């Protein structure tokens, strides 16, 4: 009789244990995915920080290295579209005026081999001794390349009011 009660107890308890195991595994997978997403977001933000640093320093070499060959830059206020080569020619001239960038917010949508970053970006400039603060909404397209890791393939920048 005692063995019968034990067998019934195990039969009843088994689905509960299996469900608990599956829930635990799902929670671990969920935490792992969240950690991986956070790590990737940090990597993409770091890449974008390097991109901004290259702009502020007029560092054509770094800018060229972290952008794809078919990189496109779009300025929202002028509806101007520049190729990578056109943008590289502008960098040194612009660096004279750019004092600093400040990322105010960042949001990411991440896919298998691509990601979209949306940033609110403050740019501080000095032109002829006068300081200017500009606020932009920036959308950055990132792509994962086979040999070089993540690169920036396109940027769209639109000025916004404060």
Q: Which two tokens stand for residue 105?
A: 């917010």
| pTM given for the model | 0.77
Confidence of residue 77 (pLDDT cuts 50, 70, 90): confident
* CA 60-66-72 angle, 5° bins: 80
State how far the Cα of 29 lies from the Cα of 6, in Å rounded to an integer: 34
Q: Of the candidates 12, 8, 136, 149, which has an alpha carbon nearest to the alpha carbon of residue 67?
A: 149
Q: Count the neighbouring beta carbons within 10 Å of the beta carbon of residue 80.
A: 10
Quote the DSSP letter at residue 113: S
CA 3 to chain centre: 60
Domains in the chain, CATH or no CATH each: 2-159 (3.10.450.50)
For residue 22, is pLDDT > 70? no
Question: Do 142 and 108 touch, CB atoms closer than 8 A?
Answer: no
Q: What pLDDT does residue 74 have? A: 94
State how far the Cα of 13 lies from the Cα of 45, in Å rounded to an integer: 48
Residues 125-143: tens digit of each pLDDT: 888 888 889 999 999 999 9
Residues 79-105: tens digit of each pLDDT: 899 999 999 998 888 878 888 999 999
For residue 156, is pLDDT > 90? yes
């Amino acid at each position: 009789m005692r063995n019968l009660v034990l067998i019934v107890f195990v039969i009843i308890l088994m689905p509960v244990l299996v469900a608990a195991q599956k829930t635990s595994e799902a929670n671990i997978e969920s935490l792992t995915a969240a950690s991986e997403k956070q790590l990737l977001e940090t990597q993409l933000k770091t890449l974008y920080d390097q991109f901004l640093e290259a702009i502020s320093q007029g560092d054509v070499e770094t800018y060229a290295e972290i952008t794809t060959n078919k990189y496109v830059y779009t300025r929202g206020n002028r509806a101007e579209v520049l190729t990578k080569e056109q943008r590289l020619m502008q960098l040194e001239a612009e660096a004279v005026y750019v004092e600093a960038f400040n990322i105010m917010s960042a949001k990411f949508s991440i896919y298998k081999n691509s990601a979209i970053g949306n940033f609110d970006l403050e740019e501080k400039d000095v032109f002829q001794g006068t300081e200017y603060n500009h606020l932009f909404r920036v959308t950055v397209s990132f792509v994962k390349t086979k040999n070089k890791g993540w690169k920036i393939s396109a940027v769209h920048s639109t000025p916004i009011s404060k």
